[in-house]
Structure formats: C-alpha cells, structure tokens
Amino acid sequence: MSTMPVTEVESFQMIGQLQKQRPSARPKNWYDRLEAFVSSLSVRDNFWHRICSFIWFPFAFFSGIRMKRIDVDTFSAVLPFTRFNRNWYHAMAGAALLGNSEIAGGMYVFGLVGADFTVVCKHMEYKFLRPCLGPAVYKMKARENVTELKATGREFNVTLDLDILQQVTKTGERDRRVGKCVITFHATPKVRIQ
C-alpha cells in the first residue's frame, strides 16, 4: 500500500523535471526577428504604416486611410473622399466604408496591444444609415479594457463600437453619422503561435 502513492509522486516529479528541461519557446530565427521589427515599425507612426500597407495591404494604402491618436486610449481614422473611394453617384462607396471599418478597427486594436500580438477580425456588423458625401471619420471605442486583457498574456477577444461620420467642411455644422459598426477582433500573443 505504501509503494503506490510513492510511485505516483515520483512519476509526477519526473514529469515536472521533463517540463522544466523543455524550452518554453523555440529560439527566434532571423525571420521571426525581422517580422517583429517590421510589426513594431508599422505601429510607430503613419509614415511606416503607409510603407508597410503599400507592400502587404495595398487596399489600405490606396484608400488613404490615416490614424490619428486623440489621447492615450482614443483613436480616430480619417478616410479621404478621393476618386478611389467614390462610386458612380459621387458618394463614398459602401465597400470603401465597410472595408476600411475593419482596417480602422484593426489598426486601433493593434496600436493598443503592440507588435507582440497578432490581431484578426472575427465578426463584423455594419449598418448603413445615409450616403457619405465627404471624408469619413471613424471614431472607435472598445467595450473591454484592452490594457488589462493584454497584461494577462493570453488570447482574448475585444469588441469595438465604431461610429462612421461624414466630415463637414462648413463651420458651425456637426459631422453627420453615415454608419455604425460593431466589430470583434481576436488577439493572440505571437509567442503562443510559435
């Protein structure tokens, strides 16, 4: 009777020693280091974001969307009213508004979590309210506290509420709401992927 618990304890100790001997993550090769460097550049400022989007995401580059940090946790994105983004009726194309919602939300989340995370869109609902006849402004707000979720070091989902407004040029007028979007992103630490 006394030998059975001892062997179980010994087996658990051996498993614990084997787990300590295994490396927790594989060593980074030159590709991993390069990818981490480019990721950190892409969130540094708009210049590097434009360069990276020209190479890997030309839709974002040619649409001309730009992020603007208002304060520590508040971002907005501006989509210019260019020929690339307009339709035949000289209004902002619905595909441009919809597609750039994902880009604006993804840049917002990626800017908060940093280059150590991979951010993927899981679900998006967009509601068109009226035609957009000028530059579009995306105002984003997260439902969850992203900094607390990031601090756990685990995978997490974050849901954003986006208000899409038509920027007016006349003084005294308010921006017109042209759409609203609810979008969910999944963030995974790159260490877990490896």
- Residue 89: is its pLDDT beyond 90? no
Q: What is the pLDDT of residue 22?
A: 42
* Spatial separation of the C-alpha atoms in residues 109 and 159, rounded to whole Å: 10
Burial class of residue 186 in the structure, from the number of CB atoms within 10 Å of its CB (0-12 exposed, 13-18 middle, 19+ buried): middle
Does the structural domain 66-193 have CATH classification 3.10.129.10?
yes
* Spatial separation of the C-alpha atoms in residues 48 and 64, rounded to whole Å: 13
The stretch 47-72 carries a mean pLDDT of: 76
Residues 164-178 pLDDT 10s: 999 887 777 788 899
Residues 107-143 pLDDT 10s: 888 888 887 888 899 999 999 999 988 899 999 889 9
**pLDDT higher at 154 or 76:** 154
Residues 144-159 pLDDT 10s: 998 899 888 899 999 9
Task: At 101, list the tokens.
Answer: 């919602």
Q: What is the pLDDT of residue 25?
A: 53
* Spatial separation of the C-alpha atoms in residues 90 and 132, rounded to whole Å: 9
* Spatial separation of the C-alpha atoms in residues 191 and 26, rounded to whole Å: 9
The stretch 17-34 carries a mean pLDDT of: 60
**pLDDT higher at 98 or 190:** 98
The pTM of this model reads 0.72
Domain boundaries, the chain: 66-193
Task: At 145, list the tokens.
Answer: 């506290």
Cβ(139)–Cβ(162) below 8 Å: yes
Task: At 100, list the tokens.
Answer: 């750039």
Structure-token match 């991979």, residue found: 118
Task: At 144, list the tokens.
Answer: 């969850």
Q: What is the pLDDT of residue 74?
A: 66
